[in-house]
């Protein structure tokens, strides 16, 4: 779930990604990751390109689920 890259590793910084804006988990439970999104939602880069690939979106949903429910 958590990764590092060569630039962040020396600083002990870890990163992970979650889905952009809002959708539903596989079980149908809705989620909102950017509740204050307004006009920027239409131009959000995290809703395009490789972020929209099914495998990438599934991984981001798993990351979010683990944050919201660590026991899941």
Digit-coded pLDDT (tens) for 15-43: 889 999 999 998 999 999 999 998 989 89
Q: What are the tens digits of pLDDT across the range 46-72?
A: 889 999 999 999 999 999 998 888 886
Question: Phi and psi (nearest 5°) for 41?
Answer: -60, -35
Which pLDDT score is estimated for 1? Answer: 52
Structure-derived torsion over alpha carbons of residues 38, 39, 43, 46, reported in degrees to the nearest 10: 0
Task: Please state the length of the chain.
Answer: 72
Do 33 and 21 meet the contact criterion of CB atoms below 8 Å apart?
yes
Give the pLDDT confidence score for residue 72 in this predicted structure.
66
Residue the block writes with tokens 């779930």: 1
User: Which pLDDT belongs to residue 6?
Assistant: 86
Compute the distance between CA of residue 49 and CA of residue 16 in angstroms, rounded to an integer: 18
Given a cut of 70, is residue 13 above it in pLDDT? yes
pLDDT recorded at residue 69: 85
């Amino acid at each position: 779930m958590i990764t590092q890259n060569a630039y962040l590793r020396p600083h002990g910084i870890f990163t992970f990604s979650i889905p952009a804006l809002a959708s539903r988990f596989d079980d149908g439970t809705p989620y909102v990751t950017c509740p204050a999104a307004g006009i920027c939602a239409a131009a959000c880069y995290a809703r395009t390109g490789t972020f929209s690939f099914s495998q990438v979106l599934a991984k981001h949903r798993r990351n979010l689920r683990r944050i919201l429910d660590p026991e899941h």
